[in-house]
Structure 1
Amino acid sequence: MKTVNPYKTTLDSGNAYWMARLASVAYIKKDDPEGSPDVAKILANLKQEDPRFSSVTGFSKNSSQAILVEHEDFFTMAFRGTDELVDWLDNFDLIVTPVLLLVEGEKLDGYFHKGFWKATEDIWEPLLAKYQQFQQQDRDKQKDLQQKKVRPLFLTGHSLGGAMATIAATKLIHQDLPFISTYTFGQPRTMTHNTARIINGKAENRFFRFQNNNDMVTRAPARAAGYSHVGSFVYISEDKSLHNDIGWWYRFLDSAEGVIKAIPKKGLDGVEDHSMSDYLQAVESWNWAPNQT
């Protein structure tokens, strides 16, 4: 059984697998108007593979959903994707939200995709409050010698959920709150070039962004609109092997930009290789191409 290495900030097969699993189960929802996370089903699903998962808390507002997953060794904020991503990519392509970032005591101007920022804001306060409540419980147990360490935090998400996870991690950096790493799958770009440089300067080696073959969502909003990714990327080729050679990135980049405009017309169902199940399959296999790490 793959396990999480809870204090490893660098790329790790067990961490990648479980973040993909958690991004996947975040889609399990109740049959209600908001599509709230079905926390009972999610927890039962996770316990079948690892009984050390102990709780799942759901958060839902408007089109935003996330879960806070508690394990004996770690916590994870997992953000759910949505079909409405297509509308946001179409309607908010050129609109950014200005945000004042505090990074290591320095005030810096940041600019984020308006729709993705709002989606994160809708659920951020109660999500962070619940996580901090768990943290305080860990500290209290430390005082009573019932527990040695405060359990660390991971973030993950697929599609829109990946964009939200990236913004959530940025908020943690802004508030000087620790996290181990962020794993995202098929996420769109979330911030401007200059903002990405600020975040990369602080935590580039703790963001891992997986892109499956020809998943065009990862190329939107367009670079020409001023948007950029953060962190390190892992490219999943058609045979499901993993690559971090930049040559694979440019090979995809050269053929991608002209197809992005078709996303709003075709919808996510028409976007090749965007399925979370494809990402999970590749990460579970963890089959690196020759001469890759």
Structure 2
Amino acid sequence: MRIPSTLSRRLIAASAACFLLPLAPSGCAPDAEDQRDGEPLVPPAPVPAGPAARLRLDWDAHDPPHWPAAGVLAEVSGAIYASPDSAADALDDLGFDVVDRFSFESTAGAVLTSGDVTVVAFRGTDDRYDWLVNLDARTVTTSHGDMHRGFDRTYRAVGDDVRRAVRIAEPRHLWITGHSLGGALAVVCALDLLDEGYELDGVVTFGQPMVGRADLAEHLDRELDRKFVRFMNESDLVPRVPPHFTHAGSLVWFTGGAIKRTYPRPFAVGDPYSTRGEPSDAVSEPPPLSDAEFRTLQADLRAADASAEALPDGRVPVGGNSRFVRDHGMDLYLDRVRAEVGK
């Protein structure tokens, strides 16, 4: 089963526009931050109860970032790190009654289903930052552009399992999410499922590194027009690696006590914001680290891991004591989304 085409869904959305509007923190009238050039947005309708219901709502990545789906996907991305029993309880609380896990070496995730809603969730590594310490800028050429070779190879190890689980689920609403390395794999998975003929409700990632060069990013922006959002927390450096790569999608950046955005694609003809100029919350994309900065990050991670004290169970904290990844933990992203976005 395939979900409706983008055109059909936008026609449907036009008749139910209240669902596309931001959810004000009070659930009533929007505050001053939820306005464009002084024009207040129409107050939203009440958000349906239950995570699956929130993932059935249409949304627009260029709207103010109070999307009910963001809260659900942040909870999923956090739960996927837990032990199998704890994760099962958390995902059950979120309403997912079918959990099809996949893993290969340190790569892991799950295809979660609740009725006609399916979420493909990828976990970042739960050990040291070996993947980041060893990360380079080598690419593989795909039919859509140059992709990071390591991310492509890692996804291929679990791709058959993901496609099988999605095919069995026959989703009407299909989302992909992940944190850190899991966010990069979520993007590669999105490309794979798009090539398989699926249309995605959305891709939402947290602390995600870049996946490809500019040509691949342009392809993603065309295919996931206004359906791809990346969250970045304060000075997290992981979204700024590897050097010489380019992000796709729209950035939501928690910075300095505010939320800033990027709008990488021009507003479409007829977009109600197209004649109002740049939105007040717009910001430039943080630039990729230079080669020298990236080497400094990797050296710091090596030193931090070498000096970190082991936890009582013998594990070493992820990233050791590195100052460069102190804003990167999924728990930090989850706290910010709970507080400011996923109402």
TM range, normalised to the smaller chain? 0.7 to 0.9
What residue identity is the alignment partner of 2:194? I
1:270-285 superposed matches below 5 A: 270=322, 271-285=325-339
- Higher mean displacement: 82-91 or 117-126: 82-91
Identity of matched residues, %: 25
- Give the counterpart letter for 1:97 in structure 2: V
Contact 2:71 2:341 in 1 (8 A): no
DSSP-derived class of the 2:198 partner: coil
- Identify if the C-alpha distance between structure 1 residues 287 and 124 changes in structure 2 by more than 3 Å, giving closer, same or farther: closer
After superposition, the Cα gap between the structure-2 partners of 1:286 and 1:73, relative to the gap in structure 1 and judged at 3 Å, is: farther
1:65 corresponds to which of 87, 103, 108: 108
> CA 1:118–1:167 in 2, change beyond 3 Å: closer, same or farther?
same
Question: Residue 232 of structure 1 is aligned with which of 242, 250, 254?
Answer: 250
Q: Cα deviation per residue 1:214-233 (whole Å; 9 max; x = unaligned)? A: 0000100012xxx1111111
Normalising by the residue count of structure 2, what TM-score does the alignment of the two structures yield? 0.66
Equivalences for residues 71-220 of structure 1 within 5 A: 71-82=114-125, 86-101=129-144, 110-135=145-170, 150-220=171-241
Cα 1:99–1:47 change in 2 (3 A) is: same
Q: CA deviation at 1:286?
A: 2.0
Q: How far did residue 25 of structure 1 move?
A: 1.0
Deviation sequence 1:208-259 (CA, Å, 0-9, x none) = 0001010000100012xxx1111111011143x32216787448549x6564
Counterpart of 1:243? 260
1:6 aligns with 2:56: yes
- Tell whether the 8 Å contact from 1:81 to 1:160 is kept in structure 2 after alignment: yes
TM-aligned CA deviation for residue 264 of structure 1: 1.5
Contact 2:181 2:209 survives alignment (8 Å): yes
Within 1, Cα distance between the matches of 2:191 and 2:92? Answer: 30
Q: Determine the C-alpha separation between the residues in 1 that align with 2:76 and 2:296.
A: 30
Structure of higher CA gyration radius = 2
- Which segment drifts farther, 81-90 or 187-196? 81-90
Mean Cα deviation higher: 54-63 or 186-195: 54-63
Task: Report the alpha carbon displacement of residue 284 of structure 1 after superposing the two structures with TM.
Answer: 1.1
CA separation of 1:127/1:211 partners in 2, compared to 1, >3 Å: closer, same or farther?
A: same
The one-letter amino acid of 2:338's match is: E
Alpha carbons of structure 1 residues 2 and 41: separation in structure 2 relative to 1, 3 Å: same
Q: Contact between 1:200 and 1:231, CA under 8 Å: does it hold in 2?
A: yes
3-state SS of 1:187 partner: coil
**Inter-CA distance 251–219: structure 2 relative to 1 (3 Å threshold):** closer
Does the 8 Å CA contact 1:189/1:228 hold for their aligned counterparts? yes
Q: Which runs of 5+ in 1 are unaligned?
A: 30-37, 102-109, 136-149, 289-293
Deviation at 1:89, TM superposition (A): 3.8
Secondary structure at 1:204's aligned position in 2?
Answer: coil
**Structure 1 residue 111 displacement after superposition:** 1.4
2:327 maps to a residue whose letter is D
- Report the structure, 1 or 2, having the larger helix content: 1
- C-alpha separation between the residues in 1 aligned to 2:262 and 2:158? 36
Contact residue 219 and residue 260 of structure 1 kept, 8 A: no
Residues 161, 176 of structure 1: CA spacing in aligned structure 2 closer, same or farther, 3 A cutoff? same
Q: Is the contact between residue 216 and residue 260 of structure 1 (CA under 8 Å) also seen in structure 2?
A: no
**Offset at 1:176?**
2.1
Seen in structure 2, the aligned counterparts of structure 1 residues 178 and 245 have a Cα distance that, compared at 3 Å, is closer
